Amino acid sequence: MSVVLGSTDRAGETWTVATDQGRWKSCTFTYVVPDGQTTTRLRFISGPTQDVGYGNLLDSVAVPAVDWSS
């Protein structure tokens, strides 16, 4: 699975997440919103899988906003 963060007109940054089959994995990503960007898109793109019962599962997603301007 790929996680893509960026503006509405360009992809921005991409992270690829993979685990051993049948295991959960906790991942943390940091994306710094460029000055002037008013909208940020978060996309999850499924990866290849041989069995529809495995892979590409999301259990919890949190997107906290942090103000680093001060």
22 pLDDT higher than 80? no
What string of DSSP letters covers 8-38?
SSS--EEEE----TT---------PPPTT--
**Bridge partners, residue 15, by sequence:** 3
**pLDDT tens digits, one per residue of 47-65:** 776 666 666 678 888 888 8
The mean predicted confidence, pLDDT, of the chain is 80
4 pLDDT higher than 80? yes
Cα–Cα distance, 41 to 8 (Å, whole number): 6
pLDDT of residue 1: 81
Question: Which among 37, 25, 27, 31 is positioned nearest to 4, based on CA atoms?
Answer: 31
pLDDT of residue 53: 60
44 pLDDT higher than 70? yes
Structure-token match 């259990």, residue found: 59
